Chains A and B, each alone.
Chain A
């Protein structure tokens, strides 16, 4: 084990948490938006595009 292993591990852990957290927030936001959209009827212009 390197004398600086703590610095290396902390770097990768923080990168995983920050970017993984951003990814998780995006996925949860998507699910919440889909649920909210399902509760409301489509607008006439959306119907026309189907």
Chain B
């Protein structure tokens, strides 16, 4: 495993995995959308509006999964000081922000016809909004510090501290009275959702997870290349400086 954590080996691995991941995620998402729109039944209470669930729930899972991935990368960055862990962490933040944004907006679009409101300040919605703001904070932190190693350490600490929000999001519906429904898939005692809706949901979740993994590999590859570009630019500038600066006279030339 650590062999692939070498940036050069990672680039070779990514060249194989990215096309495979893109094809697999496209196929799974196509199947998932077909199941969600043409096979899954309408809900007896919500009607057709339940179809928003097939994009909202996987986006919510990925919003949390992405922060979990970043937490592991943050540990790799702080404990082993591995540059690839830094790159993986930085690459994940914009993707996590995108999935959290999708979760919030689709939740709002689902809430309006079902709850009669776009937004309420209840525990689940507010904790997910906090997650979105933390993603934006991390992106801003990476952009505000020039030195990648220093930015990586600060971002890793913020990520580890922010991971405390994950159990709050998960259990917010159990700990507090909320408008949001309790867990119906990942719960003690098994899913309460009917298989005719569960399978399309799981297919969409697998497709979106494959898409996230593929995009994360691509974004991490970009980070590795950005650092390589930075190193080449520094070497080129140093070589340019040494050509421009007159060489001091050596003793034997004097």
Contact = CB atoms under 8 A, between A and B. Distances in A.
A3 B47 CA distance: 9
Interface in B1-27: 8
A3 to B, nearest CB: 8
A35 to B, nearest CB: 10
Q: How large is the interface on B (under 10, 10 to 19, 20 to 34, 35 or more residues)?
A: 35 or more
Given A2-B49, A22-B94, A26-B222, A40 B106 contact: no
User: Interface of chain A, helix or strand or loop or mixed?
Assistant: helix
Contacts of B236: 40-41
B135 interface: no
B52 A22 contact: no
Given A18-B101, A40-B232, A41-B232, A11 B47 contact: no
A2 B225 CA distance: 48
Contacts of A4: 47-49, 113
A41 B102 CA distance: 41
Interface residues of A, number: 31
Contacts of B94: 22, 25
Contacts of A7: 49, 52, 109-110, 112-113
Interface stretch (B154-162, B164-172, B177-185, B211-219): B211-219
B232 A14 contact: no
Given A11-B56, A14-B102, A15-B106, A30 B218 contact: yes
Tell which of A5, A11, A23, A34 has the most Cβ of chain B within 10 Å.
Answer: A11
Nearest to B47: A2
A8 B110 CA distance: 8
Contacts of B39: none
Interface of B: 8, 42, 47-49, 51-52, 55-56, 59, 94-95, 98-99, 101-102, 105-106, 109-110, 112-113, 211, 215, 218-219, 221-222, 225-226, 228-229, 231-233, 235-236
